[in-house]
Amino acid sequence: MCQGCDMNTAYETDVVAWAGEQARLLRAGRFDLLDIENIAEEIEDVGKAEHRELFSRVVVLLAHLLKWQYQPERRGRSWNLTIRTQRRDVARALELIPSLKTDLKDLAWWESVWAASVRQAFDETSLDIFPEVCPWTFAEIIDENWLPGDDGATM
């Protein structure tokens, strides 16, 4: 907390006003007045938000791929569009923020993503037949021309 000011209270009560003040102090070179601890926390939160977004997009993508495979009679334009959109957004996130690729190498991350995907697919279908582990490679998951299913359907 800065000396002689109540930055923590401002941060806790109005983060937008606090952020504007911190930006003005930075631009003015008033480093002695900066709320360093909360600035560091906000910077870390930016990274965490990007990780959460990747997680969320992959969960939605996998849940829709599960529905596509296990409910072929319900396949439609909406599911196809969701799959295409999530694939595009995952690829774009990985392109713009290469450090997110470390998540893709983390087995615990994949286990958590898969569990959330199965849970979402179950909630949306009431089907209790999904595999315990992801049967697809990441290359398949992200491939714009691939869809799961015995019939070999593609986009």
Each residue's pLDDT tens digit, 33-78: 999 999 999 999 999 999 999 999 999 999 999 999 999 999 999 9
- Domain extent, residue 103, equals 48-142
126 and 90 in a common domain = yes
72 and 119 in a common domain = yes
3-state SS class at 137: coil
Q: What is the mean pLDDT of the chain?
A: 92
Whether residue 153 lies inside any domain: the answer is no
62 and 24 in a common domain = no
Residue 5 has pLDDT above 80, yes or no: no
**The total number of structural domains that make up the chain:** 2
What is the model's pTM?
0.82
Which residue carries 């996130």 as its tokens? Answer: 93
CB 71 within 8 A of CB 37: no
